[in-house]
A = this chain, B = another copy of it.
Amino acid sequence: MKIKVIFLYAIALGALVFILNWADYKFYIRDFKIESYLLLVALIFTGLGAWLAYSLVNSKSKKYVQSSRKLSHAISDHKEIQLSEREMEMLLGIAEGLSNQQIGEKLHISLSTVKTHNSNLFVKLDVKRRTQALSKAKELGILSHSIEESHLIR
């Protein structure tokens, strides 16, 4: 993946140089000052750099999560329910009292993705709501026990 990114990056750079070079001889861009060139290039590659960094941050998050994957699996293995690392993170976010929007911001993913993960999580836990997911996850030992007294409601 990184190779692909670098490759595309190189192509973009080369293309830009080529286009400018071509425009240089074909048109009157020579009339512009060198500063104009530099400004344009600076802006474009600032954007590219920003995008590159953002992509790297996202992939870093992935790798970080993967390291905790084994842990999650080890926990949930006992209960025959296999939660993916993302689903586990949804559960933790919900337990923190975060909204879907906030969970997405925390993990640098969109609201849509959070909702998708939640849906899959709820199917696996066989629940309909996030609060229900919490209580069930605690029953299953996926989340630490806090509320066992809920049956006392009358």
Contacts and interface: CB of A to CB of B under 8 A. Distances in A.
Interface residues of A, number: 66
A135 to B, nearest CB: 4
Given A49-B53, A144-B149, A153-B93, A38 B39 contact: no
A64 interface: yes
Integer count of this chain's copies in the complex = 2
Contacts of A98: 131-132
Contact of A54 (B45, B53, B106, B130): B53
A-B pairs, top 3 by smallest CB distance, nearest first, are A49-B49, A97-B132, A149-B150
Interface of A: 13, 16-17, 20-21, 24, 34-35, 37-39, 41-54, 56-57, 60-61, 64, 89, 92-99, 102, 105-106, 108, 127-136, 138, 143-154
